[in-house]
Amino acid sequence: MIKVAIAGARGKMGIEAVHTMTKQPDITLVSVLDYKEIGATLRATGLFTYDVPVYTDMATLVTETKPDVLIDLTSPQAVYANTKQALQLGVRPVVGTTGFTDEQLIELTALAETSRLGCIIAPNFALGAVLMMKFAREAARYFPDVEVIEMHHDQKLDAPSGTGIKTMQMMQEVRDVKQQGHPDEHETIAGARGGNVDGMRIHSVRLPGLVAHQQVLFGGDGQLLTLRHDSFNRGSFMSGVVFCVEQVMTKETLVYGLENIL
């Protein structure tokens, strides 16, 4: 039985994760971590019927409930500190929150390897989104002219999204640097052409009603190749979360991206 704690259990993803973890035959939810006092158990929030203890201090949570895995679904401001502390306390993180810097990932990788603890950071838990990124990497070998449009709900804090950034990084691995468009191109409104990564462009859309969506557009002579993935609800991420919880128990290092363990 894998014992799991969840950070960010009251968020939209967190609520879905709580319900999912309590339904798994080989996983038990032992505690949750919150940034403020919300009562002794989840039942006190009015969102749940589960008597799972709530903590505001991770060290106390680990000492009293001894989780094997911490699922972090918090915010870019909190996720690095949570992940680092979990590893220092001997708990394996499964992280769905984005916003890590390259330096932070290097530090966390070294810490995971020193501790011989698995850590999985997944910019996107939806298996369809992971396949989209893998297909984009393959297409970038043959279509160097590419733009990414990532679309999310208007409460998302980081832009571009972790999925968008990961997609660009995967295409960078196989694509030669190329500055796209006309060499004399000029933005009459700053930012109109989006972010620039080795000549590739990425655009972030934030609107109410959206959940998580991304298009990768490849242009060629007389043709357009479009890869698109849509998550219409947060249930689309849960099979990936369960998979990561199971897989992180078998790892002794940090894995960045679900595509690396499929």
For the chain, which residues make up each domain, given as ranges? 2-121+235-260, 127-231
The model's confidence at residue 37, banded by pLDDT at 50, 70 and 90, is confident
The model's confidence at residue 39, banded by pLDDT at 50, 70 and 90, is confident
Phi–psi pair at 179, nearest 5 degrees:
-85, 115
Q: Is the pLDDT of residue 42 over 90?
A: no
Beta sheet of 27-33, edge-to-edge order: 54-55, 27-33, 2-7, 69-72, 92-95, 119-121, 254-256
Q: Is the pLDDT of residue 259 over 90?
A: no
Give the model confidence (pLDDT) of 123-156 as tens digits: 889 999 999 999 999 999 999 999 999 999 999 9
The model's confidence at residue 45, banded by pLDDT at 50, 70 and 90, is confident
19 flagged as catalytic: no
Average pLDDT over residues 173-202: 94
Q: Is the pLDDT of residue 98 over 90?
A: no
pTM: 0.83
Residue 38 has a pLDDT of 79
Candidate from 25-29, 42-46, 152-156 with smallest mean pLDDT = 42-46
Residue 3 has a pLDDT of 98
> Who's near 223: CB < 8 A, 6+ residues apart?
none
Candidate from 31-45, 92-106, 117-131, 207-221 with smallest mean pLDDT = 31-45
229 flagged as catalytic: no
> Does 195 belong to an annotated binding site?
no
The model's confidence at residue 204, banded by pLDDT at 50, 70 and 90, is very high
Q: Is the pLDDT of residue 158 over 80?
A: yes
Q: Is the pLDDT of residue 220 over 80?
A: yes
> Does 5 belong to an annotated binding site?
no
> Does 164 belong to an annotated binding site?
no
Residue 46 has a pLDDT of 73
Residue 262 has a pLDDT of 81
Q: Is the pLDDT of residue 235 over 90?
A: no
Residue 36 has a pLDDT of 83
> Which member of 19, 152, 178, 229 is catalytic?
152
Residue 97 has a pLDDT of 85
> Does 14 belong to an annotated binding site?
no
Lookup result for tokens 């006092």: 37
> Does 1 belong to an annotated binding site?
no
Contact 119, 253 (CB under 8 A): yes
> Which member of 3, 84, 156, 251 is catalytic?
156
Distance, first Cα to last Cα, the chain = 22
Asked if CATH classification 3.30.360.10 holds for the domain at 127-231, the reply, yes or no, is yes
Candidate from 55-59, 180-184, 195-199 with smallest mean pLDDT = 180-184
> Does 96 belong to an annotated binding site?
yes
Q: What architecture is the 2-121+235-260 domain classified under in CATH?
A: 3-Layer(aba) Sandwich (3.40)
> Does 56 belong to an annotated binding site?
no
The mean pLDDT of the chain is 94
The token duo for 239 is 């099979």
Contact 228, 214 (CB under 8 A): yes
